[in-house]
Amino acid sequence: MKRSQCLQLLLAGLTLALLAFSASGQTTGPKTPPLIIPSMYGQDLFNYYCASCHGRDGKGRGPVVPALTVSPPDLTTLAARHNGQFPKTMVESFVTGNRVPVVPAHGSTDMPVWGPIFQALDPNSTANKVRIEIIVGYIESIQEMP
């Protein structure tokens, strides 16, 4: 085989290797985060889905608050505001979007309704029900009593 033929074969092989590498899905930059996290730990779910508005401490001071028209409530004082009893059914109805009737005095309905959002992102309704129960349980666990 002549030297020019060897060089052509080598160049063709390198070109194919380069094309295969570039087509292999290599990307740079940050990856898009998942829409459903695998964790079923309360604090993880709260931090991922709720903390942007309510803050990691649940006090309503999340990083997106300046962009909101209605400030989110302090979730750590729910029990104190309900005679020392955590209003589990009410909180669950807010999270799922099953708040009936909607009472304007109880605030805006601007909060994302996680029940339908979870269902749209994950068709496993049992897992979604558990997610909501865990989030509500976590909110109950961060209650501050006077």
Mean pLDDT of 6-22: 47
Kindly give, in sequence order, each residue whose CB lies less than 8 Å from that of residue 74, ignoring residues fewer than 6 positions away.
Answer: 58, 59, 60
**Cα 129-114-138 angle, rounded to 5 deg:** 65
- Please tell me whether residue 33 adopts helix, strand or coil conformation: coil
Q: How far is CA 67 from the centre of its chain?
A: 18
Q: How far is CA 144 from the centre of its chain?
A: 24
Condensed to tens digits (0 to 9), the pLDDT of residues 43-87 reads 999 999 999 999 999 999 999 999 998 889 999 999 999 999 999
Name the nearest CA neighbour of 76 among 60, 64, 95, 98.
60
What pLDDT, on the 0 to 100 scale, is given for residue 24? 53
pLDDT exceeding 70 applies to what percent of the chain? 73
Are the CB atoms for 144 and 81 separated by under 8 Å?
Answer: no
Q: What is the pTM of this model?
A: 0.72
What pLDDT, on the 0 to 100 scale, is given for residue 25? 56
Condensed to tens digits (0 to 9), the pLDDT of residues 83-139 reads 999 999 999 998 888 876 555 544 556 677 788 888 888 888 899 899 999 999 999
